[in-house]
Structure 1
Amino acid sequence: MPHTAVLLAAASNEQGPGATLRIVLLASIVGAVLLAWFLLRGYGNNDDND
């Protein structure tokens, strides 16, 4: 049983993919918002020069 305690202690120190997935998710949300703003900003101008 001493091996189980060592394995559990080693596993609890590992962070896993949680932080990386959070960063990727946040970056993709920010990127989607910026892309939507960039694409939709042209619909609001009232230029009558055509």
Structure 2
Amino acid sequence: MAIAIKNIPVLKEDAAIKFDSNAQAAIKKKSTIKFSKQLSIASQILAKAKI
């Protein structure tokens, strides 16, 4: 017995435009994490351990 294939929901018109604009805003808002402090601590630990 075959299982019916369900339709994939698709955003149309205003909903698609709103979704896309929210996605673009989220991409622009994305920030990076600076690990410079953690890297310096790790290098100090490795230097102390002479590795």
Q: TM-score range by the shorter chain?
A: 0.3 to 0.5
Q: Is the helix fraction higher in 1 or 2? A: 1
- TM-score, structure 1 length as denominator? 0.39
